[in-house]
Amino acid sequence: MSAAVELITLTLPDGKTREVPPGTPARDVVASIGAGLLKASIAVAVDGEILDLMTPMRKSGAFQVLTDKDPRALGVLRHSGAHILATAVRRLRPEAKIGFGPAIDDGFYYDFEVAKPFTPEDLEAFEAEMLKVVAEKYSFVRAEVTQAEARTVFADDPLKLERLDDFNDPSEIISTYTDGPFVDLCRGPHVPDTSYLKHFKLLSAAGAYWRGDEKRQMLQRIYATAFFKKEELEAHIHRLSEAKKRDHRVLGKQLELFQFFPQAPGAAFWTPKGTAMWNALEGFVRERQRDEFLEIKTPLLYTKKLWEQSGHWGKYRENMFLVLDNESGEHDISLKPMNCPSHHLYFGSSKHSYRELPKRFVTFDVLHRNELSGALSGLTRVRQFSQDDCHVYLREDQIADEVKFLMDFILGYYATFGLEARLKFATRPAERIGSDELWDRAEGALKAALESTGRPYELKEGDGAFYGPKIDFDVMDSIGRAWQLGTIQLDYNAPERFDLSYTGEDNAAHRPVVIHRAVSGSFERFIAILIEHFAGAFPVWLAPEQVWVLPISDDVAGYAREVTAKLRNAGIRAICDDRSDTLNYRIRDGEMMKVPYMVVCGKREAETGQVAVRVRGVGKKQEVVNVDDFVARIAEEVRTRALTPSSAGEEQ
């Protein structure tokens, strides 16, 4: 008599359960709930892990069915899109070696090793072939294989054979997926068949090093996207078109804001105009932090001892610029990649009372991180950058109030630029420092503080910093793209590592808690986002040049210079454009440079103490206004940091 099989218990969202034998395909569980649900299902989630309908159930847990209305199902569709892309490429280019093909935030990609780069014509051919694969409605067939079987299947594919070397744990399941003639080494999940991919687009091809290692061979990566609905795909393509027009690398050059030189890879040169914009932004941050924060400056170079104490030497060294110590002959000094340890050193250098806390230190120092050269991209990925970096040292009972204070501070900052943010709560990653007990305390305290604000948030399990959980702020720009910017990170580990303390009300020593806070992320990246958010048409207070004064002729050039002087005396960034070019040429030039205001000075204006004002974005209309009134108006727009130029006065 055979032994009874121990059943798996799956708990449905309504609290009901299904008991099934181990190895039961997920689709059978869904079918037991209802035929209609099976027809609509894309995949399932067991305790949050996404599995496709072909995957056998192996453990008990919370069971959820994902339809196309669940945002998580989109990643399943896109992963399947990557396999369909590979199927099409291998049909047309059988010699192509296959690498990885994951879903990513906005779509998916697949890497191929080929003799020469793919052309736009290749992409058109691949997309047409993908349509055929979709129409053929191949099922995604899952198979679980041994290491030896997998090596036989992929005997002619060196990239896959190398990937198989990563399977060191004998208990780890190796699976393949087949759609039609194409078979791939893959964990899944996938949609039931290729016909689910109805609305997709191949976007571009680019070089990518195998496994991100610049010492390895260059592959060809095809980027693509897919959606469940046609209108969502069309909206995404429109956003991409808008993004191309707003590319900060193009606009930055056109507006003369910054430059890059090969002699300083990953480090921006800021022009006079770009520097004016930088200073305006930094001045705004300083103004907002003047009363509640303490600004300090700290060194750029530190010994290995500090980074070992902070934990960065073991977890982050490959991203640090190491400097040779002439005395030791070792690379045991580093340019700082972040400000945290220097703030901890400073706080720990003196005694503190519980009455002093929270203590908020901010620094605008230059930081350096050793990014791969292939990853550098304009201002969004650089090696040298500055952060509006802050570390708060506080008592544990102050966490909730401090998180609310910092959250209001960050959201208010974004609102100044017309930006809204979504909150994400990120928990402990697999690679981390500190005990589970400290992590339990940190996660519990930060989650409670976040929930006490009443603001909605998304859970991001395993996405915390290596030293603590965090709240991330994803900012939505004017064309609907999300950018991860600000962060509030709760750290119980640093006070232990740096032996930080304060004297409590009981006159005994106590451990503070540390909060890491960033708002802009980095000034470089934030400026890149602002360039694209505003398409270069900045609010007056942020614009590198706020007013151009244009004399019609030489005989009113003196009056134009007087107007310019009045504007400058009021703190307004104004220039007098008295070049010999025609007025229309100078106006067109100002429009190209997206100057918020151009004021024209003719004989009538000089006689009456007025100016004819052209406001950016309103065409050829001009307003005739008194000079002093105009100066006061611009000064008020700068003071209030108005988002758009205003129009007032008599039209001419």
Q: Which residues are catalytic?
A: 340, 369, 387, 389, 391, 470, 516
**Helix, coil or strand: residue 112:** strand
> Measured between alpha carbons, how far is residue 75 from residues 61, 72, 479, 522 in Å?
22, 6, 22, 29
Extended strands (E) in 501-596: 502-503, 509-510, 513-518, 547-551, 574-576
> Measured between alpha carbons, how far is residue 312 from residues 84, 307, 368, 433, 436 in Å?
41, 5, 14, 10, 19
Give me the helix-helix angle, 557-569 and 627-640, nearest 10°: 30
The residue type of 477 is D
Each residue of 584-613: b (16+ CB within 10 Å) or e?
A: eebbebbeebbbbbbbbbbeebbeeebbbb
Extended strands (E) in 147-198: 174-179, 182-185
Phi, psi dihedral angles at 368 (to 5 degrees): -135, 130
DSSP 271: P
3-state secondary structure 351-365: CCEHHHCCEEEEECC
- Report the distance separating Cα 399 and Cα 406, nearest Å: 10
Cis peptide before 189 (omega within 30 of 0): yes
> Measured between alpha carbons, how far is residue 217 from residues 51, 282, 507, 529 in Å?
33, 42, 63, 32
- Report the distance separating Cα 159 and Cα 219, nearest Å: 11
- Report the distance separating Cα 401 and Cα 407, nearest Å: 10
Nearest alpha carbon to residue 320 among 330, 308, 335: 335
DSSP 369: -
Q: Which two tokens stand for residue 230?
A: 């046609």
Cβ proximity of 307 and 320 under 8 Å: yes
- If one counts every other C-beta atom within 10 angstroms of the C-beta of residue 86, the result is 24
Q: Is 216 exposed, middle or buried (0-12, 13-18, 19+ CB in 10 A)?
A: exposed
**Distance, CA of 310 to chain centre:** 25
> Measured between alpha carbons, how far is residue 583 from residues 238, 602, 615, 632 in Å?
36, 11, 16, 26
Show the CA angle centred on residue 184, arms to residues 181 and 188, nearest 5°.
Answer: 120
- Report the distance separating Cα 219 and Cα 208, nearest Å: 5
- Report the distance separating Cα 615 and Cα 559, nearest Å: 20
**Helix, coil or strand: residue 527:** helix
The residue assigned the tokens 């972040």 is 338
